[in-house]
């Protein structure tokens, strides 16, 4: 069978005044990426590769944010805000290319899934001319109501235009719909603004279609999936819904989240089965954790790869470029940045390891730091395998420490150390008997 052509029209032209932000609301992040990109991902998962993006403010920034997705995006400017039907017709030149199907969605509904959008497309394939995505609302106030009888969608009534009886209906309109491309332009063009707000409602095409004998239907989805975002409170709610959904997916895949509500994930976080994540862990962009690893409480990871059976934290920070090999350990109050920690190597306490490569089986003592920045450039520290770096060592890069080296505690190492050498870099200790009393007497004076 021929795969029907489909155009997605994404409405993102609102002024975002309730966000009280310098940027369009569709650019605000959910799980670490702009919500408009979440929408494009769902469109791609629904089998749609072309989108018309209707924008108002920040058109260039929105266009830049959508670059690099799997959807070819064309931008259209809506200079006036006269309602959703008017917004769709801002992309009329795209509509006139003659697609089999039209999907209309919103740039501020980032939790919509490809499965739901595909279900709306399937309803068109099954004979509907218009398929509206709806939901059962816990509190329907403010939503348009779906007038359904015997499984058919009769009309959508905006709340301001609804009767008291119609307002008691809990099945509500998300605003997202699929329209047969054969009928789309003529249906939308017939919408008028004879309503309480004086706007051109896209929802009116349901009654227009039925008057022409065109079938209309409803596709139901979960209310949280269709949550929109108008202000910062909505943004926090959408983030919460996204996190809950992703945590559930991870736990069902075999990941142990000890206190799931305290773990925060990013859109691209990859965690394999049999990983344990303790409470209060934050995953920033670009993290992969392999099977058997443990991420201790209160750790923060970003741009890091944690190999199988490694242990991170508690209270550890992995910054971009961190690579932990199998069975390695980065312990409490340690920070790793752009560094490779070899297999079985331990960085247990209170250390900063930045711009470094450490071999296997090495022990990094408490309080050790790589002095990687000279005020102008970042420099590399290389430490071989089976080395022992004593506590409170300062390793001044660029520096190469060979295999099997022992660095004495409290040393400042500024020159390369060959394999199996013992390196000291500290002043000789002197002890002055009874001098402590003299110091205390002077201090009191």
Catalytic residue flag (residue 349): yes
In a 10 Å sphere around its CB, with 0-12 CB exposed, 13-18 middle and 19+ buried, how is residue 236 labelled? exposed
Strands 346-349 and 329-332: parallel
Half-sphere exposure of 25 (CA within 13 A, CB side): 25
Please list, in sequence order, all residues whose beta carbon lies within 8 angstroms of the beta carbon of residue 190, skipping any fewer than 6 positions away.
Answer: 205, 208
C-alpha pair distances (Å), 359 with each of 197, 324, 340, 351, 415: 69, 11, 8, 17, 19
Are the CB atoms for 370 and 398 separated by under 8 Å?
no
Structure tokens at 154: 């009769």
- E strand intervals along 204-275: 216-220, 256-257, 270-271
Which SS3 state, helix, strand or coil, does residue 349 take? strand
Structure tokens at 223: 């209310």
Q: What are phi and psi of 232, to 5 degrees?
A: -65, -30
Catalytic residue among 86, 183, 305, 349: 349
Of residues 139, 65, 153, 70, the one with CA closest to residue 107:
65
Residue 87 to residue 9: CA distance in whole angstroms: 9
Longest dimension (CA), the chain: 105
What sign has the CA pseudo-torsion 421, 393, 373, 356? Answer: positive
Whether the link from the prior residue into 402 is cis, omega within 30° of 0, is: no
Which SS3 state, helix, strand or coil, does residue 334 take? coil
Catalytic residues: 349
């Amino acid at each position: 069978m021929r795969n029907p052509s489909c155009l997605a029209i994404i409405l993102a032209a609102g002024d975002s005044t309730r966000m009280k932000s310098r940027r369009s609301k569709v650019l605000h992040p959910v799980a670490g990426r702009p919500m408009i990109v979440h929408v494009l991902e769902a469109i791609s998962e629904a089998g749609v590769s072309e989108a018309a993006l209707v924008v108002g403010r920040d058109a260039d920034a929105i266009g830049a944010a959508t670059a690099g997705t799997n959807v070819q995006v064309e931008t259209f400017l809506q200079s006036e805000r006269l309602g959703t039907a008017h917004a769709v017709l801002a992309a009329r030149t795209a509509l006139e290319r003659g697609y089999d199907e039209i999907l209309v969605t919103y740039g501020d509904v980032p939790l919509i899934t490809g499965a739901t959008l595909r279900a709306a497309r399937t309803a068109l394939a099954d004979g509907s001319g218009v398929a509206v995505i709806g939901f059962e609302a816990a509190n329907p106030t403010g939503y348009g109501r779906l007038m359904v009888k015997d499984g058919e969608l009769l009309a959508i009534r905006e709340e301001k235009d609804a009767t008291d009886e119609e307002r008691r209906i809990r099945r509500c309109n998300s605003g997202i719909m699929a329209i047969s491309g054969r009928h789309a332009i003529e249906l939308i063009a017939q919408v008028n603004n004879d309503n309480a707000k004086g706007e051109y409602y896209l929802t009116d095409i349901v009654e227009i279609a039925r008057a022409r004998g065109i079938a209309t239907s409803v596709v139901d989805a979960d209310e949280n999936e269709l949550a929109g975002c108008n202000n910062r409170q909505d943004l926090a709610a959408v983030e919460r819904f996204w996190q809950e959904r992703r945590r559930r997916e991870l736990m069902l895949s075999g990941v142990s989240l000890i206190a799931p509500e305290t773990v925060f994930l990013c859109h691209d976080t990859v965690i394999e089965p049999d990983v344990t994540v303790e409470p209060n862990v934050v995953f920033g962009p670009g993290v992969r954790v392999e099977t058997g690893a443990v991420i201790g409480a209160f750790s923060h990871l970003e741009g890091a790869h944690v190999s199988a059976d490694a242990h991170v934290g508690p209270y550890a920070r992995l910054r971009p470029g961190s690579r932990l090999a199998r069975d390695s350990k980065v312990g409490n109050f340690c920070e790793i940045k752009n560094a490779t920690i070899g297999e079985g190597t331990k960085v247990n306490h209170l250390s900063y390891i930045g711009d470094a490569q450490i071999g296997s089986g090495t022990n990094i003592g408490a309080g050790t730091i790589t002095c990687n920045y000279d005020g102008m450039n970042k420099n590399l520290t290389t430490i071989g395998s089976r080395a022992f770096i004593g506590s409170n060592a300062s390793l001044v890069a660029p520096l190469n420490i060979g295999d099997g080296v022992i660095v004495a505690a409290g040393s400042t190492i500024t020159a390369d150390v060959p394999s199996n050498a013992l390196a000291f870099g500290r002043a000789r200790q002197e002890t002055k008997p009874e001098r402590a009393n003299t110091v205390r007497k002077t201090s009191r004076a």
